[in-house]
Amino acid sequence: MDVYEKMAQLGLTLPEAPGLGGIYSQTKEFGNALCYVSGSGPNTGCTMTFSGKVGGEYSLEQGQNAARYAVLNLLAILHKNIGDLNQIKTFVKLLCFVASENDFYQQPEVANAASQLLIDIFGEQTGRATRSAIGVNVLPGNIPFEIEAVVELKKS
């Protein structure tokens, strides 16, 4: 199924791709068909602004919501840079950072929301990636969640 049709079925729309937050490339293709996507947070394209830590200002569920928005922003970046999300063969690796209080230990559960959204959109075979979920003290702009990815693209 077409990725954009599946997103519409799920009631999802791509936001406008976030701009650069520094001196870097948002995506970089390498090897035969791999593409690295720089870190993406939840704030661009969502209805609220996230600022704070999971386990502090945000509950687990609110952190999961931030993770979903970050995935949509990551997909918007991919769409902008590769032209068509249907060109994604598989998500290879996700790296999830969760800004959390010192006594919050559910970083994997926050990251699960990001992983599940990719599976919901792309299906099990394409959307399920290897993943790390890392708790950190603070993220840029005081966001609670950031995600980066390595994807394999279809090559014609």
Local structure of 9: helix, strand or coil: helix
Q: State the residue range of the domain holding 133.
A: 25-153
| Tally of domains within the chain | 1
Q: Do the domain assignments include residue 12?
A: no
Q: Do the domain assignments include residue 7?
A: no
Q: What is the pLDDT of residues 55-93, one digit of tens each?
A: 999 999 999 999 999 999 999 999 999 999 999 999 999
* 55 φψ region: left (φ > 0), alpha (ψ -120 to 50), beta (else): left
Name, in order, each residue with C-beta under 8 angstroms of 73's C-beta and a sequence gap of 6 or more. Answer: 15, 17, 18, 40, 41, 42, 44, 45
Q: Do the domain assignments include residue 39?
A: yes
Q: Do the domain assignments include residue 106?
A: yes
Q: Do the domain assignments include residue 110?
A: yes
Q: What is the pLDDT of residues 88-145, one digit of tens each?
A: 999 999 999 999 999 999 999 999 999 999 999 999 999 999 999 999 999 999 999 9
Q: Do the domain assignments include residue 58?
A: yes
CATH number at residue 29: 3.30.1330.40
Q: In whole angstroms, what is the distance from residue 151 CA to residue 53 CA?
A: 28
Local structure of 133: helix, strand or coil: strand
For residue 47, the model assigns a pLDDT of: 67
Q: Do the domain assignments include residue 41?
A: yes
